């Protein structure tokens, strides 16, 4: 069933789990991701980023995402990832996306507030939810100096814009990490205590299990994963071609769907119940930090 971001994230926020948001560039990605979600009876977010439009145009992908979501037996949110302009966000809203991200993280703070607020005003009139970003997530290899989300700015940003979810920068980066990152969980705790809104972790691929757990424990409700799917699919294609260099197209299509399902399954299981021994919905320990980082 097709649902909004708010519907999916409010339950995750209340019960301390995170929902995987998977960047899907093909039919195989979408079919594999939904098979995984249905098998695990888990909500899921299908998303497409504006930088991916050349390979997967939004106008073509929207009907696929939306029809797949409507047919699914689990809650599915169809989300625009990293919308770079008001125009792109409005286009996504008109195409039926149930949430949009406006990415103004590269703008000066006041411009980011003004633009995110404008996107939110328009989206809300259409019943669509909004994610926005503060701090610079950047790409793997970028310098990490002075890019973390500021706690005081997050409070002002959330109050002034009226967004539904805030993407933060705590040492996470998009793409292939050279080294496994050590996320700034202390900063996450401070932001979460200050804003109380569902928080979003971008750059999920390559994060340690320990950091995933600490993030989910401390307010991250949506985790974006793109690179891991692409890598997982490529790995399986190479393996199949190594076994059989003359493999045909249709069996390879099946390999791509199956590999997408595997990667999404692995992540949903990680995000779903990281504390099986703790009472779900019980008091969380606000000081939870990974071993050795207390």
**Residues of the shown chain interacting with ligand 13P in the complex, contacts defined by CB under 6 A:** 23, 49, 81-82, 174-175, 202-205, 224-228
Smallest gap from Cβ 10 to ligand 13P, in A, equals 21
Output the six-digit token pair for 165.
């979810």
The candidate with the shortest Cα–Cα distance to 68, out of 23, 2, 11, is 2
Tell me how far, at minimum, the Cβ of 86 lies from ligand 13P, in Å.
Answer: 19
CA-based nearest residue to 203, from 21, 6, 9: 21
142 counts as catalytic: no
Q: What angle do CA 158, 163, 165 make, to 5 degrees?
A: 90
User: Which residue from 29, 33, 7 is spatially nearest to 234, judged by alpha carbons?
Assistant: 29
CA nearest to 171, candidates 155, 157, 183, 189: 183
The least distance separating ligand 13P from the CB of residue 205, rounded to whole angstroms, comes to 3
Of 42 and 47, the one with the shorter C-beta distance to ligand 13P is 47
Which is closer to ligand 13P, CB of 205 or CB of 218? 205
* Least distance to ligand 13P, CB of residue 292, Å: 24
| 140 or 194: CB nearest ligand 13P | 140
For residues 96 and 93, give the distance between their C-alpha atoms in angstroms, rounded to a whole number: 5
User: Could you say which of 11, 81, 129, 246 is catalytic?
Assistant: 81
* Residue 275: φ, ψ to 5°: -125, 65
Q: Which is nearer to ligand 13P, 2 or 49 (CB)?
A: 49
Indicate which residues carry an active-site annotation.
81
């Amino acid at each position: 069933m097709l649902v909004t971001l708010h519907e999916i994230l409010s339950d995750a926020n209340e019960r301390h789990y995170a929902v995987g948001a998977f960047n899907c560039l093909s039919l195989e990605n979408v079919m594999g991701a939904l098979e995984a979600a249905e098998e695990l009876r888990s909500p899921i977010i299908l998303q497409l980023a504006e930088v991916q439009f050349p390979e997967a145009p939004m106008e073509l992908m929207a009907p696929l995402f939306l029809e797949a979501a409507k047919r699914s037996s689990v809650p599915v949110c169809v989300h625009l990832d990293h919308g770079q302009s008001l125009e792109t966000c409005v286009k996504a809203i008109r195409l039926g996306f149930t949430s949009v991200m406006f990415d103004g993280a590269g703008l000066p703070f006041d411009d980011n507030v003004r633009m995110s607020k404008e996107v939110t005003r328009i989206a809300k009139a259409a019943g669509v939810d909004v994610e926005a970003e503060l701090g610079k997530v950047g790409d793997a290899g970028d310098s990490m100096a002075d890019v973390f989300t500021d706690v005081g700015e997050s409070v002002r940003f959330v109050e002034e814009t009226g967004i539904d979810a805030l993407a933060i920068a705590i040492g996470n980066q998009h793409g292939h990490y050279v080294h496994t990152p050590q996320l700034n969980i202390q900063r996450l705790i401070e932001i979460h205590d200050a804003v109380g809104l569902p928080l979003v972790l971008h750059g999920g691929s390559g994060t340690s299990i320990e950091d995933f757990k600490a993030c989910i424990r401390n307010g991250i409700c949506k985790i974006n994963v793109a690179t891991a799917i692409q890598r997982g699919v490529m790995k399986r294609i190479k393996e199949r071609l190594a076994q059989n260099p003359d493999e045909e197209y249709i069996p390879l299509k099946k390999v791509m769907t199956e590999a997408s399902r595997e990667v999404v399954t692995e992540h949903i299981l990680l995000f779903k119940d990281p504390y099986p021994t703790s009472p779900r919905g019980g008091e969380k320990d606000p000081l939870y930090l990974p071993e050795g980082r207390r």
